[in-house]
Chains A and B, each alone.
Chain A
Amino acid sequence: QKEVEQNSGPLSVPEGAIASLNCTYSDRVSQSFFWYRQYSGKSPELIMSIYSNGDKEDGRFTAQLNKASQYVSLLIRDSQPSDSATYLCAVKSAAGNKLTFGGGTRVLVKP
């Protein structure tokens, strides 16, 4: 079992709809969670971080964390074609100072 798992997609959503991305992790002591967006051929850029159970909103993005169920999700509201990218989930364990990344979910927003 991979430490951090994501559906590879592609997740195809119509413009203006909500894109919902999920990420599960295996290390129960994980304490910090991150979502990065990566456009094709570019480096990842941080879009959200969360460490407490519940929801965290930033503009059109909402991160949701449920430590009991060991999953973190990302919602993209009012999806735009510019949101088409691969979204990487990253998890930081309490035991160290490194991140473990999932394989990424490719999102395609169709006009």
Chain B
Amino acid sequence: DGGITQSPKYLFRKEGQNVTLSCEQNLNHDAMYWYRQDPGQGLRLIYYSQIVNDFQKGDIAEGYSVSREKKESFPLTVTSAQKNPTAFYLCASRRSGTSGGIETQYFGPGTRLLVL
């Protein structure tokens, strides 16, 4: 059963607490991405990684951290520095296209983070 898995489905964070969201893929994709989606909004890029042991900041990286120690895994930590973390977090991975260079991103089911 191939695909992208995210856990947990729901996560509650207390004030001052760091929490880690899991993202795993068995699609053999090289690139992985983390997005944040607020209600009624589009997706905003937090971090992305094109190869193992390398990652780049996206548009809203402040208050977040990532690691990419294995090709299959790209966990996201929401730190206490992120003052407004309540959102829907989506992980994606990218399949490289063939001719024409279209590169398609596929999404996991998402984690909804709520602040207590």
A residues with CB within 8 A of B: 4, 6, 8, 31-32, 34, 36, 42-46, 49, 51-52, 88, 90, 92, 97-104
Decide: A43 and B110 in contact? CB cutoff 8 A: yes
When chains A and B are docked, how far (Å) is the Cα of A92 from the Cα of B105?
A: 11
Decide: B42 and A97 in contact? CB cutoff 8 A: no
When chains A and B are docked, how far (Å) is the Cα of A34 from the Cα of B104?
A: 8
A-B CB contact pairs (8 Å), 28 listed: A6-B42, A8-B40, A32-B103, A34-B104, A36-B107, A42-B109, A43-B90, A43-B109, A44-B43, A44-B107, A45-B107, A46-B104, A46-B105, A49-B104, A51-B102, A52-B100, A88-B42, A90-B105, A92-B103, A97-B31, A97-B48, A97-B50, A98-B48, A99-B105, A100-B45, A101-B35, A101-B43, A103-B40
B13 CB, nearest partner CB in chain A, Å = 20
